[in-house]
Chain A
Amino acid sequence: MKTLIAIKEQYHTWVHEAFPAMHPLLLPLCNKPFIEYLIDFAILAGSREVRLLSDGQLTEVEEHCGTGSRWGIELSYANLHPADDQQQLLDKNRKFCGGGRTMILTGYNFISYNKQKSYLDLATIATDTPIASCPGGTITLKGPPESGASEKSPLAPFSITPLDSVQSYFRISMETLQTGSSRYVLPGYGSEPDCSIGKNVIISKTAQIRKPVSIGDNVQILPKTIIGPSAIIGSNVVIDNGCSVSGSIIIDNTYIGENLEIDMRIAAGNTLIDPTSGVSLTMEDPHLLVGIKTWATTAILKRKTIHALAATILLVLQFIPFILLFPLLKLQGKWKDDPYMQETGLAGALAVAISLDRFPLLLKVITGKLDIIGSSSRSTCAGKHSYPDSGPLSRLAVFSYAEAEDWPVNGSDAAIVERFHAVHSTPIKDIGMTIKALINRLTKGR
């Protein structure tokens, strides 16, 4: 049997409004993209060839699903016209269907199935009427029934539910979390039921995880947080100190600020949605709720290159003063292995004013280990802040955004300033901020 999955854009316009950064077919339900549930069902029904039809862009879906080799099937893609009916879909894909048994899934619907049951008998049922339907679409079998399957065994139950609103999305996600891995093939690992955790997840010792939960990949759960019950945490998410997340969904690439309480909500980037009323709130405070940019390799390379160039120029400018002052400070015992030396005496004060104390760190910018401006490497190394180790929210650097903005470097307000700039900065802005930091140090000292 082969399967045609036909999803017209008209059925998922709400996804573009609620989650503009997300392709509707890749919308995660319990951390598994929507389209994968349909592919799983097609496989359980015995399909080895699946074609995905849409009247919208499928580039992202193609990048995600590829040729279907990871499922051991052949997955192909094609366009459909918004006005196409089922017969037209069959006619346009006649070569794919080959005149054999074809299952047609139409609409943007969630299929409730059980992976422990067999749906192979769908290939042998002789019917032209839909075997499942809902207001948003149908599952129909076309073509002659196949023979050789166990015709006598009863068909395992399944149903389809329209995914037509934020409300239905939230409800179905939570139901999937409750039934969990017993019914569906879900991502992540778990040594106990109702708890699945993805790769590269850091959970603080003082955090509490209350089942059922599903946690995606690349997640940081910082101290004193409470996750669950009934929490779905997507991938590339940071949950900061003291937060509680229960009965809620945190969509991929989201930062949740300190001491927030998220109950019965959907958080997606800087947007908070009430799934009951559908009301959404776009936060303007990056220290509360913000989207985490997925930093492309080229963007990182560009930033590193510009920072390295700036560091090289600064090294050249500081070279002669460094050669003159370094031996003197070393002899006086004011130059320690810690690059942040004492600001005592004329030589020390001068060295600090022209930022010679950061001279050794500039070499690390050229090797790519540090940025020229970002989070304060001194305070972070001293453990005074609880920044995530990496990612867009915290980049260890020679100079800090707090120095550029003239905030007290070790204050908690400085942490907010640094996070704001870490999220909103560009390489060119970084150079401007570095110059500001240098001027501040020259005019005001540390």
Chain B
Amino acid sequence: MAFRLDTLNGITVGIAELNGRLVAENSTILQKTCSDWQQKTPFLVFDCSNLDFIDSSGLGTIVGCLRKALEKNGDIKLAGLNAKVAMVFELTKAKKLFSIFSNAGEAAASFAASPVSSKTQ
């Protein structure tokens, strides 16, 4: 999981690339790593363009990360979901919790336009 920090209009946005499969076996890694990322910035983008599959554990972990971000007045935005991953978000209604963008650049720019999304208010 590659992670980088971008600064846009004075706002530091963390962009994390999720790869492969996010399932029960490895979702705890994301949980721990996300806590480290959130120490650096509460504004995160999960770039899912290389994420092939997600199960309910992975989904639960991402929702857990969002909850922590909201507690810190931050947000997590998703980018580049492929059709299969998007179907899981739609099926479980988790899509309604997140702002979803076609690519990481757009997602990061949206923080600059409105640092605290409407969902966090």
Q: Interface of A with B (CB < 8 Å)? A: 259-263, 265, 272, 274, 277, 279, 281, 283-285, 287-289
Contact between chains at A285 and B90 (CB < 8 Å): no
Residue among A261, A277, A284, A289 making CB contact with B90, cutoff 8 Å? A261
**Residues of B close to A272: CB separation below 8 A:** 87, 91
Contact between chains at B55 and A279 (CB < 8 Å): no
B residues 29-60 near A (Cβ < 8 Å) are 55-56
Contact between chains at A288 and B83 (CB < 8 Å): no
Q: Interface of B with A (CB < 8 Å)? A: 23, 55-56, 83-84, 87-88, 90-93
B56, B90, B91, B93, most chain A CB atoms within 10 A: B91
Main secondary structure of the interface of A (DSSP, over half): loop
Main secondary structure of the interface of B (DSSP, over half): helix
Contact between chains at B55 and A284 (CB < 8 Å): yes
Contact between chains at B55 and A259 (CB < 8 Å): no
Residue among A277, A284, A288 making CB contact with B91, cutoff 8 Å? A288
Q: In the complex the two chains form, what is the Cα distance from A265 to B88 in whole Å?
A: 12
**Residues of B close to A265: CB separation below 8 A:** 87, 91
| Sampled A-B contacts (11; CB under 8 Å) | A259-B93, A261-B92, A261-B93, A272-B87, A272-B91, A281-B83, A281-B84, A281-B87, A285-B56, A287-B56, A289-B91
Query: Who on chain A is nearest to B90 by CB?
Result: A261
Residue among B23, B55, B84, B92 making CB contact with A260, cutoff 8 Å? B92
Q: In the complex the two chains form, what is the Cα distance from A261 to B92 in whole Å?
A: 6
**Residues of B close to A284: CB separation below 8 A:** 23, 55
Q: In the complex the two chains form, what is the Cα distance from A67 to B83 in whole Å?
A: 45
**Residues of B close to A283: CB separation below 8 A:** 55
Contact between chains at B91 and A261 (CB < 8 Å): yes
Known: A285-B56, A287-B56. A279 touches B23 (CB 8 A): no
Q: In the complex the two chains form, what is the Cα distance from A263 to B83 in whole Å?
A: 14
Query: Who on chain A is nearest to B95 by CB?
Result: A261
Q: In the complex the two chains form, what is the Cα distance from A259 to B87 in whole Å?
A: 15
Contact between chains at A288 and B93 (CB < 8 Å): no
Known: A260-B91, A288-B91. A277 touches B83 (CB 8 A): yes
